[in-house]
Structure 1
Amino acid sequence: MKKLSLLYMVMITLLASGCAIENPKKLEVEMKNENGDSLGNATLQEQSDGVEVALDLEGLPPGEHGIHIHEKGVCKRPDFVSSGNHFNPDDTKHGLLHPEGAHGGDLPNLIVGEDGTVKVKLMAPMVTLSKGKTSLFTKEGTSLIIDENKDDGMTQPSGDSGKRIACGEIKSDKK
């Protein structure tokens, strides 16, 4: 009877620990403009429903801007094309409004105030900071890109959102 009780206790402990996120993963990403000036930080944090992207930025042009996670963790100025295409591990169409979308890296548009600041939290529900196909910690890393115009949510392959105006490299501290 003692052995059976001990076995039940071990099983309950294992099940309970597997259901909870003991230490949610969190990462700071410095965002820079095409001149290399810091605009502030994006804080990425693992949640039960994806990755929360909390932005606290200044020095951006006022208005609506597309923001996406890209497939490479390289932010070579001034155009940031080194970051590659949108992060798309499931090979879907682009756009939060597209019936065959969206990319894992598609995020809602940012609205930057007249003073050039934005402080907002967005959700990236199709990605993770954990291991796996949808992890942002790929071999080449990933990046967070802000575009000059809004993303229309449909146009292939990137929402007709114009040139890239800010970039931050998403890389794990663990090598």
Structure 2
Amino acid sequence: MKRKSFLAAATALAGAALLHGCATPSDAPASAIALPLVGTSGQSIGTVRMWETPGAVSFRVEADGLTVGRKGLHVHAVGRCDPPGFTTAGSHWNPASRKHGLSNPAGPHAGDLPNVPVAANGSLRETVVLSGASLAQLRDTDGSAIVIHAGEDDNVTDPSGNSGDRIACAVLSPAA
């Protein structure tokens, strides 16, 4: 009898912990740098939080008003996000001059990130990790930008994975 009560209590506690984890608005640490995310009309559509861990930079992307589906996400080489096309962000961050795509044998670009899902209500809440990067590299003299594309990245096709237009952008400013 005591064993059943213990198992039931442990299961309930684990379930509560899991629900609490899902309800957390952001898994970014308090020290994360918050960056405004803008859409093609220059309007604020969310926030990107970034923070460094050993050998990587993590990004927590929170956005609303997007079309449903998987979206390509990349770090671009220049810290400029001029709407509507965000072409001022330049090409993908690629200091090693590799080919595009996480599945490309000649790749990936250093700024290639996994696709992110946009829910049926148009919201995006996802954390991605850029391995092999540091904040100092991303916040060099001209900064960099994180860009959401209109479609899913095929993770192979050079130079952009056929991920479509740039629909949202956040500037990773140079370090002060």
> How high is the TM-score relative to the length of structure 1?
0.80
Q: How many residues align?
A: 147
Counting only pairs closer than 5 Å after superposition, residues 62-73 of structure 1 correspond to structure 2 as: 62-73=68-79
Identity fraction in percent: 33
- Counterpart Cα distance in 2 of 1:170 and 1:35: 19
Residue 139 (1) aligns with residue 145 (2): no
Residue 170 (1) aligns with residue 172 (2): yes
How far did residue 173 of structure 1 move? Answer: 5.0
Counting only pairs closer than 5 Å after superposition, residues 42-121 of structure 1 correspond to structure 2 as: 42-121=48-127
How far did residue 25 of structure 1 move? Answer: 6.7
- Aligned residue identity for 1:162: G
- Counterpart Cα distance in 1 of 2:112 and 2:82: 21
> How high is the TM-score relative to the length of structure 2?
0.80
- Counterpart Cα distance in 1 of 2:46 and 2:175: 19
- Counterpart Cα distance in 2 of 1:149 and 1:170: 22
Cα 1:151–1:94 change in 2 (3 A) is same
Q: Which has the higher helix share?
A: 2
- Counterpart Cα distance in 2 of 1:96 and 1:32: 26
How far did residue 126 of structure 1 move? Answer: 2.5
4+ long deviations beyond 4 Å: none
Structure 2: any 5+ residue segments left out of the alignment?
1-29
SS in structure 2 opposite 1:90? coil
- Counterpart Cα distance in 2 of 1:106 and 1:123: 10
- Counterpart Cα distance in 2 of 1:87 and 1:151: 16
Cα 1:138–1:172 change in 2 (3 A) is closer
How far did residue 26 of structure 1 move? Answer: 3.2
